[in-house]
Structure 1
């Protein structure tokens, strides 16, 4: 038993065992089924030295509580969180020089902001947009009791990755202050008369964990030395030396700021194609992908982790077979790129060929343009990738594919479609990728078809927006006032930007707050567009023209368990359908109301939003099916309002993977089933047990785990949701390593036929997959 407690100022106090009992009572308050004596035995066993510090005592409580976490007693994770929280309070109080009390653990907000602005940690806008009186009013809204919503892993993640520290790495910011600073920064450009109330509303949404902001926003909002606020980007590479190298530079600039990046390479000529008429001189796409691989490794994300890049290629591209082998662990290493992810863009016609066991032709996009002579209304040469089937089983792509296949002067490689599919599935079982991108389904439901086409997705397969390559127009020497400069002129393409946040379904739905929550979420997302710091100008331009956002969800399995709904059931499929219809209705209405206030997005005219095709295509206005939460009459009224007033955002709904921030919220990730009833987080010297959220004798029966679930039920739920999601879903397949090839193929065919726009990872217990941090909204 210790004799002395050493305080931070080196004062020595007599050890008082009663204080341990009082502290145990405090951290166990209102936590059912936890035994104080059991906790104290563990603490005393760890306090063996004669002299201990307060930090050692706190750590002993934390570790003892963690050791007691189990499926039977999951609430120990909250006891451990409270012990960690006490330690954070003490550190912040010492570092900021204020007196913390158990019932008043937070210091004053204004001095914190003032100090961190002066140190260059916070941005000046926090002081220029808000007066001291206003900041004091916002401080009065901070509710420390909401810190008790965190479990241990959630609080540890928030503390380690997101809370602001000074340049010596000392804790300065506490959880509720992080939420308030984010709210203040996202609202600082709002009109002065509304700014304060909007900041309060954003704080309400985040601090109650009804929602989470995406990782870049959580980490960077309000901070000066930080990256940008958008989650990820998609570039389309032009088939030119300038286009390829400029794209690599843009990728590097975004990667250094923490962005995840998708790169579409379907326009780049294939191996063996000609260059300026010289036959058989092109090396194809693989060397350029290897260059991107080197960029991912060498330009890391603000020194924290290597860059995250996904490359996409069409399944009718001549280089597709080599592309599918990119991440395999055998073969020629000069044809491998282990540090990028890859995805395949699949037309309906290919999937039909797989089912029919028929042949499939591969083409070079450069040769297709040169030989076929297809052009758009502006005389721009078109390739096969520039077409899609406007209807299921009928459309421009299959017509152009047939023309190309029949042309005697166009070279091609012919292989059985099923052989390509086998290569895809082999790679997926070994590496988790390639992702699957169903290009016809995506483009048929694209509400902005009038302004372009979607060629691929992002790093997490949930973003689907118009794309086009940036083209270098000219370079010239310009002399003015005796100064000579090189001026490069470019025609900006659609460089996709995704701005994300997500609803915590398991808190927001039972609380009945969706109607209040979604409008403030949409405003937060829309404001990110205006205050963001994106170095790549064409990305800035695209962001301003479409104002695309991606509101998502997480905690689906958590919610189903709370509602007593089994994953493998018709009830779950129907519940998904009605819930996501309601979310979509509130989302579109919120964007429409924001358009009334601030104006519609610049490319609204001619969109499916304006024509009403968006609503008709999804069956909202036909009257054939009445929603549980939204009536046909409500949809018809909204359709008229949107046609008249517009919407603020060209795309709105995208379900991201939510890896990190669902951990902070203490819920299940995204739309995924629970991985395990009791999972473990590995730390350097110990493991942290993490039981399923709200695990109890009641909910355990509804927590069937991912690898035990029939994936066809997951596909059916995803299909029900997809009708309401204008972009995509980060939808994972969980399969056993010994799955039969025919069963695996059936899953892919069912996903395609079910109208899914993409599938994300194929997960097997044998695989360890590193998630994209940026989309972890």
Structure 2
């Protein structure tokens, strides 16, 4: 039997070489290479002139077929066999003969020569430093990948040259670590490189996609989340459309608040009924997100937010339903309703709710109601309700409107819900603005506002100018992989996560100036978490006891993260808007010193930290945000986010084949992985509420209703009311498990969830 090698040479098959590969792939695992070999012989025996690559991939397929909940190790065998093929491909592409990794410095030189790495790396580091850094590289970390993670890494993240793999996994992590530490003090910079590399390579910290993709390339955006607002003018709206396009082009997920825009039937320059409302503008934004498709890689992703008091809300809720006028639909955006406490109170007491036109309110009172929250909003809202002179209003049943929201959620998975008062009560920068709405995945938000655009008339015509500096919320994300972190490691892991993100702010190239202004003023970062279901299983904690455990565990994460940012402030200075913030006043996560003294087991540490920050400041205005992590969790080999698993074991079938998926501790802790589809969603919400106490931004909380069990409208209503009362800030997707079918799938946000 003859086989064809990569260089097209023909040679006889060597069974011993195949056996050696299988031994390497099975080393250290509770499986025998002989078992795989006995199943695989038929795949490569009897065929002539088969390529070595085809033999290798047939072994990968056989290992996947042998993966079961009882034998999950075979998915790791499949990953190793796949990586072996990538090692060979990279070696051939780069011209060396060793199996696995070549010389790292030579790799960097060649990557720069081929325009794959940013040449600035040789401005940051000498060749001697790069040679020394190359000693940190540890190929053994590759052995921990399972097939789903290895395949995702190879297909999405490793740099290719002419469609052939150039870069290997540990080279990617080490190069990113070098760029992350580029601005550190030179005396201990390589120590920082080693620290960063080890937490990335050991998969204790997961980087969001923009950082993972762009940090070693030329001039890339590293931020995941952007949220902007449009004013009620033609110039501002189209300026916002341009903002959407530029952010989308650079790979960011976009949120846009449109609550200031006048409603349908409002007057324009004294002409009654001239306005078409928000829907036509949403359609333009929808088409912009589709058209600017991030260099052909994927369509832009956009959430559009509207306050619950806006006159156009009923039409907004129909944007994605199948029935009705198709000219009023926008199927490629993700609608978000901004909900004040007053609305939820009216729903609970079966009261009336009034919808207003913001333009009419501005004309009558000079008030921008979209900028109000809490008691100030209630004061103005009740005043407007009693004003019978306002003509463009709708009085509706609050509960019926809420039912319409619920109905749309079950039918389409949306709208998202953003509990505005809950968010702004915990906003540490309420002295400096307002958080009007959330980002694409509903976990990241801070103060933002539109630029004020004026159009003075001159003899030359109309000239646009910006008279007030706008702010676009901008956030860089990482996630702690709780499946891989022991509790004693939390202080150093949190410190490294904060340092990586603070460094990335200085390394990024913001796509718009309002984003740069936001970075400079607030230095917002988002340390998140994934693998909570794994941590619970590892510790054999039943889901029923998860909330109490998570409360205490995430308090520690919050403390160590805030403490790390306080240490950075001593080294680098506080964020510019610190003066007057809740941080300076000793109010952490919306709670004062007295609360910590009465409720925290580590109260003395919190009080000491409050005193330190009040004196010295804190580096980052907001620090914690838990993204969905739908696919980055595959790369990390853990469960996504902080939600329960959907399934303990399933086969993901797609155009690229069938991939077995299961959590890391499935074999030893099978019964402690409770599936979300079998859990009352009120219990899920209570767990999220316990975690939310310690997250100063948000949590991408999905709700899952299993329609194979009795579910009523009352059940869904109680889940959402529980979310509001438990202090959950946002509701992300609503998913339904249809009778006798799989879960209804929604597109993921690659910027946040990777």
Whether TM-score is above 0.5 comes out as yes
Is this contact kept in 2: 1:34–1:76, CA < 8 A? no
- Picking from 153, 158, 173, the partner of 1:179 is 173
Partner residue, 1:18: 16
Alignment of 1:598 onto 2:576: no
CA 1:485/1:749 → structure 2, altered by over 3 Å: closer, same or farther? Answer: closer
Distance 1:476 1:109 in 2: 60
Partner residue, 1:660: 631
Partner residue, 2:114: 119
Please give the secondary structure, in 1, of the residue aligned with 2:643. Answer: coil
- Picking from 244, 254, 271, the partner of 1:261 is 254
Partner residue, 1:161: 156
Where in structure 2 are the equivalents of 1:370-769 lying within 5 Å? 370-373=363-366, 382-389=367-374, 395-411=375-391, 412-474=393-455, 488-509=465-486, 512-567=488-543, 569=544, 571-614=545-588, 617=591, 622-627=596-601, 631-684=602-655, 686-696=657-667, 698-737=668-707, 739-766=711-738, 767-769=744-746
CA 1:304/1:337 → structure 2, altered by over 3 Å: closer, same or farther? Answer: same
TM superposition shift of 1:515? 1.3
Please give the secondary structure, in 1, of the residue aligned with 2:753. Answer: coil
Distance 1:620 1:154 in 2: 46
TM superposition shift of 1:683? 3.5
Alignment of 1:281 onto 2:274: yes
CA 1:331/1:474 → structure 2, altered by over 3 Å: closer, same or farther? Answer: closer
Partner residue, 2:29: 31
Please give the secondary structure, in 1, of the residue aligned with 2:588. Answer: helix
CA 1:469/1:430 → structure 2, altered by over 3 Å: closer, same or farther? Answer: same
CA 1:10/1:472 → structure 2, altered by over 3 Å: closer, same or farther? Answer: same
CA 1:575/1:613 → structure 2, altered by over 3 Å: closer, same or farther? Answer: same
1:96-129 deviation line (CA, Å, top 9, x unaligned): 111223xxx2111112211221222211121110
TM superposition shift of 1:609? 0.4
Is this contact kept in 1: 2:456–2:462, CA < 8 A? no
TM superposition shift of 1:386? 2.0
1:155-182 deviation line (CA, Å, top 9, x unaligned): 110111001112x121111001111111
Is this contact kept in 1: 2:480–2:528, CA < 8 A? yes
Partner residue, 1:142: 137
1:745-776 deviation line (CA, Å, top 9, x unaligned): 00000000001111111111242101100001
CA 1:352/1:290 → structure 2, altered by over 3 Å: closer, same or farther? Answer: same
1:303-358 deviation line (CA, Å, top 9, x unaligned): 11110000000110000000011111121111110000011010111111111111
Partner residue, 1:50: 48
TM superposition shift of 1:685? 5.1
Partner residue, 2:342: 349
TM superposition shift of 1:675? 1.1
Distance 2:129 2:534 in 1: 38
Partner residue, 2:741: none
Please give the secondary structure, in 2, of the residue aligned with 1:343. Answer: strand
TM superposition shift of 1:726? 0.6
TM-score, L = length of structure 1 = 0.93
Please give the secondary structure, in 1, of the residue aligned with 2:428. Answer: coil
1:679-716 deviation line (CA, Å, top 9, x unaligned): 223342521121232211x3111111111011121111
Is this contact kept in 2: 1:518–1:586, CA < 8 A? yes
Distance 2:656 2:521 in 1: 49
TM superposition shift of 1:20? 2.4
Partner residue, 1:310: 303
1:461-516 deviation line (CA, Å, top 9, x unaligned): 0112012111114568899xxxx997733422121001100100110136x32111
Distance 2:235 2:698 in 1: 31
- Picking from 320, 327, 335, the partner of 1:327 is 320
Distance 1:685 1:552 in 2: 30
Is this contact kept in 2: 1:253–1:535, CA < 8 A? yes
Partner residue, 1:774: 751
Partner residue, 1:392: none
TM superposition shift of 1:192? 2.0
Is this contact kept in 2: 1:545–1:602, CA < 8 A? yes
Distance 2:44 2:548 in 1: 52
- Report how many aligned residue pairs link the two structures: 746
- Picking from 234, 238, 245, the partner of 1:241 is 234
Please give the secondary structure, in 2, of the residue aligned with 1:552. Answer: strand
Is this contact kept in 1: 2:292–2:300, CA < 8 A? yes
Where in structure 2 are the equivalents of 1:69-84 lying within 5 Å? 69-84=67-82
Partner residue, 1:378: none
Is this contact kept in 2: 1:621–1:635, CA < 8 A? no
Distance 2:378 2:34 in 1: 70
Distance 1:694 1:385 in 2: 47
Distance 2:156 2:736 in 1: 28
Please give the secondary structure, in 1, of the residue aligned with 2:706. Answer: coil
- Structure 1 gap ranges (5+): 374-381, 390-394
1:64-93 deviation line (CA, Å, top 9, x unaligned): 101111111111100000100101111111
Please give the secondary structure, in 1, of the residue aligned with 2:164. Answer: coil
Is this contact kept in 1: 2:565–2:619, CA < 8 A? yes
1:393-435 deviation line (CA, Å, top 9, x unaligned): xx22222111000012123100101111111111111111110
Distance 1:93 1:38 in 2: 26
Is this contact kept in 1: 2:266–2:357, CA < 8 A? yes
Distance 2:220 2:47 in 1: 44
Where in structure 2 are the equivalents of 1:360-371 lying within 5 Å? 360-371=353-364
Is this contact kept in 2: 1:476–1:488, CA < 8 A? no
Greater Cα shift, 106-115 or 153-162: 106-115
Alignment of 1:63 onto 2:72: no
TM superposition shift of 1:660? 1.9
Across the aligned residues of Structure 1 and Structure 2, the Cα RMSD in angstroms comes to 1.8
Is this contact kept in 2: 1:475–1:489, CA < 8 A? no
- Picking from 221, 235, 245, the partner of 1:252 is 245
Is this contact kept in 2: 1:258–1:302, CA < 8 A? no
Is this contact kept in 2: 1:732–1:759, CA < 8 A? yes
1:617-672 deviation line (CA, Å, top 9, x unaligned): 16676421232xxx211111000000011011111011111122111011100011
TM superposition shift of 1:43? 4.3
Is this contact kept in 1: 2:426–2:589, CA < 8 A? no
Distance 2:566 2:611 in 1: 11
Please give the secondary structure, in 1, of the residue aligned with 2:72. Answer: coil
TM superposition shift of 1:191? 2.4
CA 1:240/1:131 → structure 2, altered by over 3 Å: closer, same or farther? Answer: same
Partner residue, 1:128: 123
1:23-82 deviation line (CA, Å, top 9, x unaligned): 222211111144623443234334441122221121111011011111111111000001
TM-score, L = length of structure 2 = 0.96
- Structure 2 gap ranges (5+): 739-743
